[in-house]
């Protein structure tokens, strides 16, 4: 008996060691790759002044384009530095000779979260900069269906010009990642490289980077209606498998997929991934949208209705660095969301749960606590993934769960009201180093949550949280 127990214990230890080794090996590989990429972009002593490639991005497209831009310039022999606009210091701009800025727009013509401090500290013109020695090129990312098309990119461009910066070329405006506009940007990079065209070797080596997103036929493996009987729009849980014969690609909690609806070529829709690769498939939470003309939304209609289980849909995965765990892996997490916003929070909770399970014995390195605040309409129909959430509560992954069911009582109760109710707890968690992740509706939820945060801990603390990457949002 004692021998079989000993053997079992040894087996667990062995499995644990193998698991740790695999995690370490993968981590080392990622670190090495990142180091190689970063080193490739470091300025060399005699290569001339560094070109600043600046990005202001919410869901990562602008950041992705910034890195592609930097790689192209590097291959053309130019020293480059990639930096988020919000991380920029005044001295960086005052000493630079060339800056390329890629800026998207959020809210109603506003800056992405990562550039909010730049908008406040730099663009408020009470402390103008003398940028007459700077040449600047701006690419504004946006969507013409919004009232303030490319609002922030235009404002950034105008600000640089007001500071005396010299335009390298006319601002390029990109409507929903229009490939023609991105090609125009790529061509303008030759102005910076000082060549009629980017050198051939740079072009060839870079073609793959600039080829545009590649969509592949993913298979819908399962679809479940999560909220039958709800007063709200139908929400579906989907499971998708990669193209036949291809392995499941890797991704991290917080990442997105892009789906191409057939009838709307070139205009993808984003969906936050609700699972980790360990689930063996990409899981999504999709709300069926009805357009004003009564038709189903193009992508959500395809995914939740027209596409049969077993059918194929053009899809690709996209990293969303701004909603990943990043440096917050060891911090307490405050997870706030509503509706399909639970998708991104669920992926983060799966990651925390896996981390806890891999900690043997659990007491040696307790996983930092998490607190979930989730809002929907009716507890009887809309408590999505209730079983999983309760299991995470029992396992200690979730220390607190606050459900806000707005239609269960006469007065409307939303997550922002529960957050305000728990103001003292919020202050304590933030003081203990918590990171705040918000996922779901921009209208109604994210703005109201932001207001409660600011009322409770103060504007200065909220701005510092954004700067430190401790306040991250995936809102739409």
Ligand X SMILES: Cc1cc2nc3c(=O)[nH]c(=O)nc-3n(C[C@H](O)[C@H](O)[C@H](O)COP(=O)(O)OP(=O)(O)OC[C@H]3O[C@@H](n4cnc5c(N)ncnc54)[C@H](O)[C@@H]3O)c2cc1C
Ligand Y SMILES: Cc1cc2nc3c(=O)[nH]c(=O)nc-3n(C[C@H](O)[C@H](O)[C@H](O)COP(=O)(O)O)c2cc1C
Cα 7 from Cα 20, distance rounded (Å): 20
> Under the criterion CB under 6 A, does residue 261 sit at the interface with ligand X?
yes
The three state secondary structure string of 150-191 is: CHHHHHHHHHHHHCCCEECCCCEEEECCCHHHHHHHHHHHHH
> Under the criterion CB under 6 A, does residue 223 sit at the interface with ligand X?
no
Task: Confirm if 104 and 61 have CB atoms less than 8 A apart.
Answer: yes
| Binding site partner of 268, from ligand X, ligand Y, none, Cβ cut-off 5-8 A by kind | none
Segment 30 to 69, residues that bind ligand X, using CB under 6 A: 59
Residue length, the chain? 476
Residue 373 CB, nearest distance to ligand X (Å)? 18
For residue 188 the two structure tokens come to 């303008």
Binder to ligand Y among 149, 169, 210, 215 (CB under 6 A)?
149
Q: Which residue's CB comes closest to ligand Y?
A: 142
> Under the criterion CB under 6 A, does residue 83 sit at the interface with ligand Y?
no
> Under the criterion CB under 6 A, does residue 271 sit at the interface with ligand X?
yes
Residue 456 CB, nearest distance to ligand X (Å)? 26
Nearer to ligand Y, 51 or 65 (CB): 65
Nearer to ligand X, 254 or 369 (CB): 254
Helices (DSSP H) in 264-385: which residue ranges?
298-301, 342-358, 379-382
> Under the criterion CB under 6 A, does residue 117 sit at the interface with ligand Y?
no
Task: Find the part of the chain contacting ligand Y (CB under 6 A) among 143-151, 258-266, 275-283, 458-466.
Answer: 143-151
> Under the criterion CB under 6 A, does residue 269 sit at the interface with ligand X?
yes
Q: Which residue's CB comes closest to ligand X?
A: 297
Environment class of 209 (CB within 10 Å of its CB; exposed 0-12, middle 13-18, buried 19+):
middle
- What are the C-alpha distances in Å from 123 to residues 51, 118, 131, 150, 245? 21, 7, 13, 16, 51
Segment 272 to 301, residues that bind ligand X, using CB under 6 A: 272, 285-287, 289, 291-293, 297-301
SS3 250: coil
> Under the criterion CB under 6 A, does residue 300 sit at the interface with ligand Y?
no
Count, residues near ligand Y per rule CB under 6 A: 24
> Under the criterion CB under 6 A, does residue 59 sit at the interface with ligand Y?
yes
Nearer to ligand X, 293 or 411 (CB): 293
> Under the criterion CB under 6 A, does residue 340 sit at the interface with ligand X?
yes
Beta-strand pair 172-175/216-225: unpaired
| Binding site partner of 343, from ligand X, ligand Y, none, Cβ cut-off 5-8 A by kind | ligand X
Task: Confirm if 407 and 370 have CB atoms less than 8 A apart.
Answer: no
> Under the criterion CB under 6 A, does residue 446 sit at the interface with ligand Y?
no
User: Quick one: which of 177, 112, 351, 342 has its CA closest to 251?
Assistant: 351
> Under the criterion CB under 6 A, does residue 106 sit at the interface with ligand Y?
yes
Residue 102: count other Cβ atoms within 10 Å of its Cβ: 29
Binder to ligand Y among 72, 105, 163, 353 (CB under 6 A)?
105
> Under the criterion CB under 6 A, does residue 345 sit at the interface with ligand X?
no
Task: Confirm if 78 and 193 have CB atoms less than 8 A apart.
Answer: yes
List of residues 6+ apart from 215 with CB closer than 8 A = 258, 260, 268, 314, 315, 316
Applying CB under 6 A, which residues contact ligand X?
59, 256, 261, 269-272, 285-287, 289, 291-293, 297-301, 340, 343, 474, 476
Applying CB under 6 A, which residues contact ligand Y?
57-62, 104-109, 112, 141-143, 146, 148-151, 177, 442, 476
């Amino acid at each position: 008996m004692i021998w079989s127990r000993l053997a079992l214990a040894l087996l667990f230890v062995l499995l644990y060691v193998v698991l740790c080794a695999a995690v370490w090996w993968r981590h080392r590989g990622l670190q090495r790759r990142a180091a190689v990429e970063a080193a490739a972009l470091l300025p060399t002593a005699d290569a001339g002044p560094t070109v600043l490639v600046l990005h202001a991005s919410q869901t990562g497209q602008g950041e992705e384009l910034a890195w592609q831009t930097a790689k192209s310039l590097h291959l053309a022999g130019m020293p480059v530095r990639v930096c988020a606009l919000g991380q920029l210091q005044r001295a960086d701009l005052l000493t630079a000779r060339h800056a390329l800025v890629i800026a998207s727009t959020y809210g109603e013509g506003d800056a992405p979260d990562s550039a909010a401090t730049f908008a406040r500290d730099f663009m408020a013109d009470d402390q103008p900069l003398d940028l007459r020695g700077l040449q600047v090129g701006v690419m504004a990312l946006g969507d013409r269906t919004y009232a303030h098309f490319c609002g922030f990119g235009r404002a950034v461009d105008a600000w640089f010009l007001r500071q005396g910066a010299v335009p390298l070329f006319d601002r390029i405006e990109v409507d929903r990642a229009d490939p023609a506009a991105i090609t125009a940007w790529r061509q303008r990079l030759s102005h910076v490289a000082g060549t009629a065209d980017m050198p051939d070797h740079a072009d060839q080596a870079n073609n793959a980077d600039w080829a545009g997103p590649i969509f592949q036929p993913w298979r819908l493996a399962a679809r479940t209606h999560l909220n039958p009987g709800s007063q709200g729009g139908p929400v579906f849980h989907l499971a998708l498998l990669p193209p036949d014969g291809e392995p499941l690609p890797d991704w991290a909690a917080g990442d997105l997929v892009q789906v191409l609806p057939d009838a709307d070529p070139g205009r993808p829709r984003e969906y936050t991934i609700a699972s980790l690769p360990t689930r063996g498939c990409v899981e999504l939470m999709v709300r069926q949208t009805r357009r004003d003309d009564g038709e189903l939304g193009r992508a959500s209609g395809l995914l939740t209705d027209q596409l049969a289980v077993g059918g194929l849909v053009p899809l690709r995965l996209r990293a969303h660095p701004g909603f990943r765990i990043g440096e917050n892996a060891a911090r307490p997490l405050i997870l706030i969301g509503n509706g399909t916003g639970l998708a991104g929070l669920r992926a983060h909770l799966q990651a925390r749960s896996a981390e806890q399970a891999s900690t043997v014995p659990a007491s040696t390195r307790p996983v930092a606590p998490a607190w979930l605040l989730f809002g929907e309409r009716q507890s009887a129909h809309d408590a999505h993934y209730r079983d999983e959430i309760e299991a995470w509560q029992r396992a200690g992954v979730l220390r607190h769960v606050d459900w806000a069911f707005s239609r269960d009582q006469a007065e409307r109760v939303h997550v922002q009201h529960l957050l305000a109710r728990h103001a003292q707890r919020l202050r304590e968690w933030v003081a203990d180093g918590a990171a705040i992740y918000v996922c779901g509706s921009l209208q109604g939820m994210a703005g109201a949550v932001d207001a409660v945060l600011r009322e409770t801990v103060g504007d200065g603390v909220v701005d510092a949280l954004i700067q430190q990457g401790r306040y991250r949002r995936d809102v739409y």
